[in-house]
Amino acid sequence: MIELNYPSILFREYIEYISNYCKKYNLTLILKGSLAVGKASEYSDIDLVIFGDLEKNNIYEIVYNFNNPLLINISTNPKGMLIITYENNISVDLDVRKTIIEDDINQNNKILVNNGINLSESIIRYELNILDYCKDHSKELFEILKLIIKGTNKYLSNNKTAANDFLIEIKEKCKKYFCIEELNFNNNYKHDIKLIYNDLLTKYEIDNIKQKYFNKLLEEK
C-alpha cells in the first residue's frame, strides 16, 4: 500500500477499509485532496474516486460497513457525489464513477487500488437516490448540517477564509429555507454558527446522536 501521512489512526483505518473493499470487488480507488498531498489535518475530508462495475448494494455496503453514518448527502455541485460524515468524525467525499478522466490520475492524486483505468473525455457518475442510503433524510436540514460540519472543520483547521465562505453560504441557505433575520449575527464564525445551530433545534427534530456530535464539534477550540 502507498505510504500516506495520516493525521490520525481513524484515517488509516478508513483507507485500509475502503482499499480492501475495492480489492475484493475489483474496483479502482483514487485518493485526492489534502490527504493525497500529505497536508491533511484531523478535521480534513477524505476525497475519493471509486471506479468500476458497482451494484446498488455495493455502494450501500461501502457507506455502512465502516462505521455508523451520522449524516449522508448527495452533492449538487458537482452533482452526484456521496458526502458522508461518520459518528467517529471521519468525513468522506465519495465520487462513485463509471468513467475516469486524465485529471483524476495527475501527480497530486494517489491511485490506491488499480483494477484498470480506461480514460474518458468526460465524467459519468452513478445515479444515486439519497433515500437508498438515508431513510430519514430531510433535504433542507441535512444540507445545512453538512455545511456546518464542513465550515467548522475548516475553522478548526485554521482555514478561516474557507470557514467564512461556508458561513456566508449557510446564511444564504437558511434565508432560503426559513427566516433568520431575527438572529443577532456579529460575523464571528463560531458565534454565528452556534446561533444558527441553536435555531435549527427549534425548527427541526434532531436526534440525540446528532445533537451530541454537533455539541462536541461546536465546542472544539
Q: What are phi and psi of 74, to 5 degrees?
A: -115, 125
pLDDT of residue 35: 97
The answer to whether the pTM exceeds 0.85 is yes
146, 39, 12, 125 alpha-carbon torsion, rounded to 10°: 50
pLDDT of residue 136: 77
What are the structural domains, with CATH classification, of the chain? 9-132 (3.30.460.10), 139-219 (no CATH)
pLDDT of residue 138: 84
Q: Which residue has the cell 458497482?
A: 54
51-73: string of b/e by CB count within 10 Å (b at 16+)? bbebeeebbeebbeebbebbbbb
Residue 91: left (phi > 0), alpha (psi -120 to 50), or beta?
Answer: beta
Number of neighbours of residue 94 by Cβ within 10 angstroms: 20
pLDDT of residue 180: 73
pLDDT (tens place) for every residue of the chain, 221 residues total = 688 999 999 999 999 999 999 999 999 999 999 999 999 999 999 999 999 999 999 999 999 999 999 999 999 888 999 999 999 989 999 999 999 999 999 989 999 999 999 899 999 999 999 999 888 778 889 999 999 999 999 999 999 999 999 999 999 999 888 877 678 999 899 999 999 999 999 888 899 999 999 999 999 87
Distance CA 29, CA 151 (A): 26
Q: Is 130:73 a contact under the CB 8 Å cutoff?
A: yes
Distance CA 181, CA 175 (A): 8
Residue 139: left (phi > 0), alpha (psi -120 to 50), or beta?
Answer: alpha
